[in-house]
Amino acid sequence: MEKSDYIWFDGELVEWDQAQVHVLTHTLHYGLGVFEGIRCYEGTAGQPAIFRLPEHVDRLFGSAHILGLSIPFTQEQIINACVETVRVNKLRACYIRPIVFLGAGEMGLAAVHNPVRVAIIVWSWGAYLGEDGVRKGVRLRTSSFQRMHVNTHMTKAKAVGNYVNSILAAVEARRGGYDEAMMLDVDGYVSECSGENIFIVRRGRVKTTPHTSILSGITRDAVLEVLREDGVAVVEERFTRDETYLADEAFMTGTAAEVTPVREIDDRQIGTGRPGPVTLTLQQRFAAITRGEDRGHAGWLTPVR
Ligand code: PPE
């Protein structure tokens, strides 16, 4: 990973190498923290713009609220700080990672009164599952690890600790020679992937899992809106792993993964084994929107000036 120049840390810009924490940082021990992943895109006119920034910051505050963490800044301050961090690092296209964590002080599980700290880091991040994955599609494997139950971890919070569940699945899939893990919920239905939401298409009709056990993806929301605008039939409904085998197309959505086609699930070819028409159209629509070429969705972009 390439270093950027500055990191926003507790309200100030500090040099990349100076953004350090103590080993007694509470979140490091117990995982109580929340974060976001946001992308900034270079527009066709050369102007960088951040995709759905207020929605991401709102989810960050929602995640903190769920975990009982009080962020010592306003949403507006965090929005401005994200823009500022991109600007000072002179990056055009980049990934933005705000993280809220409990600092050092007391130890123990109930030591929730330690200072709540906030950092915003930006760096260049290319295709999450590789350029080939975006063009040709990726291979998924149903995970042996279930997605956490809605009453064990809080699935609506993008919480640091939730990613232990994701990492177990992601690493297992990659060790098995697959690109990514498809996770089932505790009832056995498809939930989401380790870091993406999942969609299937059959006979022109698009299906994605309901909000229940998933992280409510902001890309998922954007894709649903674009599909509906284009007159495509979409439903949010539970489905089984074998229903995915019968799909004509499948794709995943996420900030890092954007719209990534799926060409195989559990060693079964999906459709023709190549990205299908619904997926391809969506990728083009998404690229046009994020590059600022679609005036209808200009409201989803926050320019970095
Ligand atoms: N589910 C999970 C579990 C998840 O982590 C993400 C984002 C999504 C769904 C999609 O949400 P959204 O980005 O709002 O569309 N995953 C982040 C993880 C990246 C990382 O590996 O770190 C991301 O895409 O930023």
Q: Whose CA is nearest to atom 8 of ligand 1?
A: 196
Output the CA 197–ligand 1 centroid distance in Å.
8
Nearest to 270 by CA among 257, 256, 260, 282: 260
pLDDT of residue 22: 97
Residue ranges for the chain with pLDDT beneath 50: none
Alpha helices (H) in the chain, listed in sequence order? 26-30, 53-67, 75-88, 131-136, 163-175, 218-229, 241-245, 277-290
Q: Which of 3, 90, 136, 158 is catalytic?
A: 158
Q: Whose CA is nearest to atom 16 of ligand 1?
A: 195
Output the CA 105–ligand 1 centroid distance in Å.
30
pLDDT of residue 276: 98
What atom in ligand 1 is closest to the CA of residue 162? 3
pTM value > 0.85: yes
Q: Is 258 in the pocket of ligand 1 (CB under 6 A)?
A: no
For a ligand 1 pocket test, name from 185, 215, 224 the mutation site with the most ligand atoms within 8 angstroms of its C-beta.
Answer: 215
Q: Is 98 in the pocket of ligand 1 (CB under 6 A)?
A: no
Distance CA 236, CA 195 (A): 19
Output the CA 38–ligand 1 centroid distance in Å.
9
For a ligand 1 pocket test, name from 196, 199, 224, 282 the mutation site with the most ligand atoms within 8 angstroms of its C-beta.
Answer: 196
Q: Whose CA is nearest to atom 11 of ligand 1?
A: 217
Question: Which residues partner with 119 through β-bridges?
Answer: 9, 99
pLDDT of residue 295: 92
Q: Is 160 in the pocket of ligand 1 (CB under 6 A)?
A: no
Whether 116 contacts 72, CB under 8 Å: yes
Q: Is 129 in the pocket of ligand 1 (CB under 6 A)?
A: no
Told to judge if 158 belongs to the known catalytic residues of this protein, a careful annotator would answer yes
pLDDT of residue 253: 98
Residue with tokens 């009982």: 68
Label the pairing between strands 197-202 and 205-208: antiparallel
What atom in ligand 1 is closest to the CA of residue 95? 25
Beta strands in 110-215 (DSSP E): 116-123, 138-142, 180-184, 190-193, 197-202, 205-208
